[in-house]
Amino acid sequence: MRKIVVIINPIAGGKSKSNVADIVRQVFPERIFCVDLFETQYAGHGYELAKQAIADGAETVVAVGGDGTVNEVGRAMISDTSVKFGIVPMGSGNGLARHAEIPMDTTAAFELIRQGYSELIDYGDMNGHIFFTTAGTGFDAEVGKRFAEMGNKFSITGKRGPVTYMRAIFEMATTYVPHDYVIMTDEEVFRQRAFLITIGNAAQWGNKIYIAPKASQQDGIFNISVVKPFLYLEAPVMAAQLLNRSFDRNQHVRSIESRHVRILCDDIGYSHVDGEPMLLQSPLDVTMHAAGLRIIVPKERKNVL
């Protein structure tokens, strides 16, 4: 009998999870599957529940929530790639789920988990903090901080989502000041005044916003986007390029490939891992870990097992 543990963040994305238990009963027949459901109660609880599930012999551990939930549960699973990680995207960005072509529909995502096809993906480490999609510093991290503040305010009313995220961007755009950085990669060291620096293990932040369009989670290399200062009149063109996967061709974007990167800044400000803002000290040291997490994906993906 296949043992599956489902970890639900009840407040992720401001979306109701009241139908999850019914969907689980529908998708996973009791004669074949043993499924336990848990709800997270506090920050870090998802990590603890996932660790316990692995210790108890779960074949698959599932995160139901957004990128924060996925990061929390996924961090517990990098120690054992024999256990499969299932994702049911119910957040505001769903960056890893979108990159892995996991359905946004809850029932379809659970049916994918029942099929159980999986692949190994890379992950990154920034100053000891694990990420699966992107990490970085600068404007996007400051927006993430503002979005988190607004999300906390709106979590009960269900207004944490793309509209709130765009509002956070517009609020920050007129006041944000670019910083001066020293950037050290495997091949070079250079100084750059930058609007933001994103280390991409996946192509997008989430919501199909492609900050590092050539990034792959299976090549053992980061795609780093260094965005130089630009005129606000240029912002609409850059926004369109983020959506049509051509952002790396913009004249204000320097794209770099590297397995490691060190970022130094006298005033580093906020950084982020998988969209979660945090205050970290300079330097930021980012390291690639190849093939370190086994996630459930559609059968049509190239490297499924």
Domain check: are 16 and 80 in the same one? yes
Burial of 142 (C-beta count, 10 Å sphere; 0-12/13-18/19+)? buried
| Residue type for position 95 | G
Domain shared by 244 and 146, yes or no: yes
Separation CA 243–CA 93 (nearest Å)? 14
188 shares a domain with 66: no
Residues in Cβ contact with 68 at an 8 Å cutoff, skipping those fewer than 6 apart = 9, 12, 91, 274, 275, 276
Mean pLDDT for 115-120 is: 95
Q: Looking at the domain assignment, is residue 177 inside a domain?
A: yes
Q: Indicate the range of 75-79, 150-154, 185-189 predicted with least confidence.
A: 150-154
What mean pLDDT is predicted for residues 69-73? Answer: 96
Q: Kindly report the CATH number assigned to the domain that includes residue 8.
A: 3.40.50.10330
Q: Is 105 left (phi over 0), alpha (psi -120 to 50) or beta?
A: beta
Based on the domain organization, do 110 and 157 belong to the same domain? no
Q: Is residue 295 part of a domain?
A: no
pLDDT at res. 197: 97
**In a shared domain, residues 95 and 175:** no
Shared-domain flag, residues 137 and 279: yes
Instruction: Give the pLDDT of residue 161.
Output: 58
Q: Inform me whether the pLDDT recorded for 152 exceeds 90.
A: no
State the pLDDT confidence band at 149, using cuts at 50, 70 and 90. Answer: confident
Helix boundaries (H) for the chain: 20-27, 45-55, 67-75, 95-99, 106-115, 139-154, 162-173, 235-243
The 10 Å CB-count burial string (b at 16+, else e) for 50-60 is bbebbeeebbb
Q: pLDDT per residue over 7-46, tens digit each?
A: 999 988 777 888 999 999 999 999 999 999 999 999 999 9
Examine the domain organization and report whether 176 and 259 are in the same domain.
yes
**In degrees, to the nearest 5, what angle opens at C-alpha 290 toward C-alphas 285 and 295?**
115
Mean pLDDT of 144-173: 65
How much is the pLDDT for 139? 92
Per-residue pLDDT at 84 exceeds 80: yes
Residue 44 in domain? yes
**What is the count of structural domains for the chain?**
2
List the Cα angle 227/232/238 in 5-degree steps.
50
Residues 102 and 152 in one domain: no
- pLDDT confidence bin for 304, thresholds 50/70/90: low
pTM here is 0.91
Q: pLDDT at position 157, please?
A: 42
Residue 153: is its pLDDT beyond 70? no
- What is the CATH classification number for the domain harbouring 233? 2.60.200.40
Q: What is the pLDDT of residue 303?
A: 67
Same domain, 161 and 191: yes
Same-domain pairing of 144 and 109: no
Structural domain span for residue 162: 133-285
Q: Does a structural domain hold residue 230? A: yes
Q: pLDDT band for position 85 (50/70/90)?
A: very high
| One domain for residues 110 and 142 | no
Task: List CB contacts of 77: < 8 A, sequence separation 6 or more.
Answer: 50, 54, 61, 83, 85, 293, 294
Same domain, yes or no: 27 and 87: yes
Out of 87, 116, 145, a domain closes at 116
